[in-house]
Amino acid sequence: MLTVPVSDEQLAEDVAAFLAEGLTAGERVAYFDDDTAGLVLSRLADDGVDVTGPLRSGQFQLVPGDFTRAALHAPLDELTGVMEQNITSALDDGWAGLRFSGQMDHGLRRPGGQVLDEYDRRLDDA
């Protein structure tokens, strides 16, 4: 899902709904933070989604901002393998699949950041 929100509130609403659907479906859910996790977690709470248990069990993972920003600048050749490993890990841990979302505009603002269609191709390969 690609969201082009008109506000931070709409972004948090869309992402929270997407993540909540994954939690309900029994998927492992990961949010790649870039200083926006607080807004998404607040929206999940407003929507009545308790993430305490999923965070404790590993169903819901918050990926730190430093890792997110580094991943946006890593060579794309590494992305397919990393995603395949994460998908396999989620399935091996008994989850129905892997669902992830995050804030990627940091990589788009900085020179050297990757282009979204290139990411999309690699994710599709995984």
Closest to 46 measured CA to CA, from 13, 4, 5, 23: 13
| Distance in angstroms (rounded) separating the CA atoms of residues 120 and 75 | 14
Length of the chain: 126
pTM over 0.75? The answer is yes
Q: Which residues of the chain have pLDDT under 70?
A: 1-3, 104-116, 119
pLDDT tens per residue, range 47-78: 999 999 999 999 999 988 888 777 777 777 77
Dihedral of CA atoms 101, 116, 104, 62 in degrees, nearest 10, equals: 30
| Phi, psi values for residue 95, rounded to 5° | -85, 155
Structure tokens at 74: 């890593």
